[in-house]
Structure 1
């Protein structure tokens, strides 16, 4: 009977692990009466925390689109690169964009094409649809960034294909 209970416990643990949500924390968001410490937890599969890219250099939490790609930050607003470009801190609608180049304070590659790259606070340029991790860029579909280290996402055994 004890063995049966441990088997059920193992199955329950495995199921819980499959449905587990990985959370992150934005540490420097705006303090409010309901959020006096200025920290915000979030589901990393649904949001991305842009450090120092919000109003008054605060962190800004932006949603990911349904495909899991990040929207980006520009002077305290979140935007989709399919709809806008961020040129030197100003959002410009794609339909009004005339090919102007932008600058990224602190970046070695200036000027840059704002239709292809995002300028992160501190001068890191990353191609769109990648995210920042410490001093590098990574594809969030293949990698994660636990504790500031780019790491491969473990393969999901459900998606493996077996040879017949």
Structure 2
């Protein structure tokens, strides 16, 4: 049998009654709701020269050149082109197709030589390593993993920590913005009651006694 729970809000007895102080549980609920609101807020634009872009769709090279991200594959600049590291390497500033049928060939990056499976050559003279199959990118004199940072005007900025994937007990499971409202999933074992995630055993303890 499915049990339905209804909670009613307490009413003040008169206009002069003092409001109930915010409890720690309520405060945590407010903070958690603010974190979850980021799920429905539009992605911020970043600047790349005279253009604006979404960092989930493009990468900015040299503060002026955009390359796309296609199906999660970050395309890298080579001269005036963008390429996928699964298909090409960049020798100095010239694209070279990768042969998957023969031995790996050393490529040139200014005065250095590299294997495309281990490094990428950026700007024709700067090597960044390939980590776990993903190329790191250049930002000033550093190399960075694009899944963790963005580079703007030669400065690295960490990408925000993703919000929680479920709403805990007493958390608000409905987030509303000017674009509308979004229902968020309650954590396992909780149910949605009056726009909050609640533990049914706390609402009706007798139903959980065996």
TM-score where L is the length of structure 1 = 0.62
Hey, what's the Cα distance between the residues in 2 that align with 1:77 and 1:20? 29
* Correspondence list, 1:49-128, <5 A: 49-51=60-62, 59-67=64-72, 69-95=73-99, 99-105=104-110, 110-121=112-123, 123-128=125-130
Greater fraction of residues in strand: 2
Q: CA deviation at 1:74?
A: 1.6
Q: Summarize the Cα distance change of 1:160–1:127 in structure 2 as closer, same or farther, 3 Å threshold.
A: farther
Hey, what's the Cα distance between the residues in 1 that align with 2:125 and 2:80? 17
Hey, what's the Cα distance between the residues in 2 that align with 1:160 and 1:143? 25
Identify which range, 71-80 or 110-119, moves more after superposition. 110-119
Q: Summarize the Cα distance change of 1:88–1:99 in structure 2 as closer, same or farther, 3 Å threshold.
A: farther
SS of the counterpart of 2:43?
coil
Q: Which has the higher contact order (CA 8 A, sep 6+)?
A: 2
Q: Summarize the Cα distance change of 1:160–1:144 in structure 2 as closer, same or farther, 3 Å threshold.
A: farther
Q: Match for residue 54 of structure 2?
A: 43
1:156 to 157, 162, 171: 162
Per-residue deviation, residues 25-58 of structure 1 (Å, max 9, x unmatched): 222xxxxxxxxxxx22211111012228xxxxxx
Say whether 1:24 aligns with 2:46.
Answer: yes
Q: Match for residue 144 of structure 2?
A: 138
CA RMSD of aligned residues (A): 3.5
Hey, what's the Cα distance between the residues in 2 that align with 1:15 and 1:50? 31
Q: Summarize the Cα distance change of 1:20–1:146 in structure 2 as closer, same or farther, 3 Å threshold.
A: farther
Q: Summarize the Cα distance change of 1:44–1:154 in structure 2 as closer, same or farther, 3 Å threshold.
A: closer
Greater fraction of residues in helix: 1
SS of the counterpart of 2:164?
helix
Q: Summarize the Cα distance change of 1:98–1:76 in structure 2 as closer, same or farther, 3 Å threshold.
A: farther
Higher Rg: 2
Q: Summarize the Cα distance change of 1:17–1:119 in structure 2 as closer, same or farther, 3 Å threshold.
A: same
Structure 2: give runs of 5+ residues left out of the alignment. 1-32, 169-187, 189-210
